[in-house]
Amino acid sequence: MERRTNQLERLGEAVAQTIGSGPDELRRRAQEQALVEHVSARGGKPRRRWLLIPAAATVVVAAVALWLLLPRKDADAPLAFWTGQDLQPGVVGKQWTAPAGRSLHLRFDDGTALELEGGSTGLVAEAKKHRIRVALSQGALRVAIKDKQVRRWIVEAGPYRVTALGTAFLATWNEDRQLFRVTVSNGRVLVQGPGIDRQGLVVGPGGWLAVDHRSGQATFGLSRHSRRPEPLTTPAEPTDPDDDESASDQEPDDQKSSAGAASHLRRKRRLRRAPSAPGARGWKALYDQGAYHEAILAAREAGYAQLLARLSLVRLWQLAEAARYAGASEEAIQALLAIRKRFPGSSRARTAAFLIGRVAIEQQRQYRVAARWLKRYIHESPDGPLAEESLGRLISAYQRSGQRTLAQDAARRYLARYKDGIFVALARSVLRQR
């Protein structure tokens, strides 16, 4: 029995290693998109399934009939909009330039207002009932979305795409200097584009993100003068016993904000739900929400160095993840170094070496530093799960830092060990170079 179990474990490990952990990022993005669309379409009505059962058949029949009669017509129906003070009907695809010193206003049928600031140029590329796409080719565009549940709002500012998840924000694009910036005053936006992790970056209320397209350098922060954010989720997560930083992460003005609320209803809502400003939630709660850059802001407010000194291994790992996903490379490396220093014998300490190498390559472009850390991982875990990837990336790091001999040496070692590996093409191309 014991023997059989061991053999099955060995087989299971081989199977797990072979099939990996799931489909690629592209498919996951599609899943994410499908889920958000499903939830947006469903809305937030409380359900009484047992009451709905008798009505379900009727609804299904009606829906099928409608679908057959009006295939996709509704979703593709145009959304009207008007421009200027005299409310001229808007034309999709027509480019507008706001006169210097004066804003140009666009108003959509659903109440959403766009303000193209003086001297800025942009156009409405698509205006359908379920999707509106605005392209900003130069300048600043202020957006205040009304009906966040139904429509998907996309602002393309240069090569950057801002997807609004229900929101008021300001997007700017400086074509000459290739600088992008988004400042969110309310709700959340998803930003995608060069210099940002492929998954995109969610910028929350009061947050801003700036990217220099030429250098790929992304910076972000929290605007002190922003409006109080809209609540997003309940704070009712119990304190994690392992979360020893939770108390110190709380922002003291939490009570003040609710006391200052204008109406009883608003006060009631604020008491029921928590604000999601970074300092108020604690970095771990924000990490759990997937708001990584806010988690890092909150961690900074709580004292990043102190967190590094006292967090448990698991929490440190999560902090490093948050920093990596937020593109905060310095903080990511600090957290990974803290793992190596404080938990030297752990497998995560070994993996941290690989991750430092990866951050150095992808986010800092410090190829020599990356090479040192990747070598360290290979030395510490020659048969580890990331050994192949480390050696493959080592070839790349040597190549990009101009160390051709070392790159070729790594390539030979790679080909000798991983004949069918994923870096075979890179290794061969490096060896072909003379």
Contact residues toward other proteins (CB under 8 A) are 1, 3-5, 7-23, 27-28, 30-32, 34-36, 38-40, 42-45, 47, 148-149, 165-166, 187-188, 190, 199, 202, 232-234, 236-238, 273, 288-291, 420-422
Beta-bridge partners for 217: 212
Nearer Cβ to other proteins (158/205): 205
CA distance 84 to 393: 54
- Please give the C-alpha separations between residue 344 and each of 337, 339, 431, in angstroms, as whole numbers: 10, 7, 36
Tokens representing residue 5 in the block:
């179990």
CB of 88 to other proteins, least distance (A): 33
Which are the contacts of 87, defined by CB distance < 8 A and separation ≥ 6? 107
Residue 336 C-beta: closest distance to other proteins, Å: 19
Residues in the chain, total: 434
Give how far the C-alpha of residue 190 lies from the chain's centroid of Cα atoms, to the nearest Å.
6
Of 118 and 384, CB closest to other proteins: 384
**Smallest separation (angstroms) from other proteins to the CB of 142:** 21
How many of the other CB atoms lie within 10 Å of CB of 164? 24
Q: Name the residue nearer to other proteins (CB basis): 11 or 66.
A: 11
- Listed as own residue / partner, the contacts of 284-290 with beta carbons closer than 8 Å and 24 or more positions apart are 284/240, 284/243, 284/245, 284/246, 284/249, 284/315, 284/318, 285/235, 285/237, 286/322, 287/318, 287/319, 287/321, 287/322, 288/237, 289/232, 289/233, 290/202
Tokens 């469903």, residue located: 42
**Nearest approach, Cβ of residue 165 and other proteins (Å):** 5
**Shortest distance (Å) from residue 192 CB to other proteins:** 13
**Cα separation, 33 vs 251, whole angstroms:** 33
DSSP state of 420: T
Q: Which is nearer to other proteins, 276 or 334 (by Cβ)?
A: 276
Nearer Cβ to other proteins, position 236 or 262? Answer: 236
Question: CA–CA separation, 197 vs 173, rounded Å?
Answer: 19
Which residue, 58 or 234, has its beta carbon nearer to other proteins? Answer: 234
Closer CB to other proteins, residue 26 or residue 57? 26
Residue number, 1 or 57, with CB nearest to other proteins:
1
* Least Å from the CB of residue 243 to other proteins: 12
> What number of CA atoms fall less than 13 Å from residue 55's CA on the CB side?
6
124, 81 contact by CB (below 8 A): yes
Decide if 129 contacts 74 (C-beta within 8 A). Answer: yes
In the complex, what is the shortest distance from the CB of residue 236 to other proteins, in angstroms, rounded to a whole number?
6
Q: How far is the CB of 198 from other proteins (least distance, A)?
A: 13
> Please, where are the H alpha helices in 161-277?
254-259, 264-272
Q: Which is nearer to other proteins, 174 or 226 (CB)?
A: 226
Q: Return the ∠ at Cα 421 (arms to 415 and 422), rounded to 5°.
A: 120
Q: Residue 150 Cβ, how far from other proteins at the closest point, in Å?
A: 10
3-state secondary structure of 376: helix
Least separation in angstroms between residue 231's CB and other proteins is 9
Tell me which residue has tokens 């941290």: 352
CA diameter of the chain: 83
By beta-carbon proximity to other proteins, the closer residue of 116 and 280 is 280
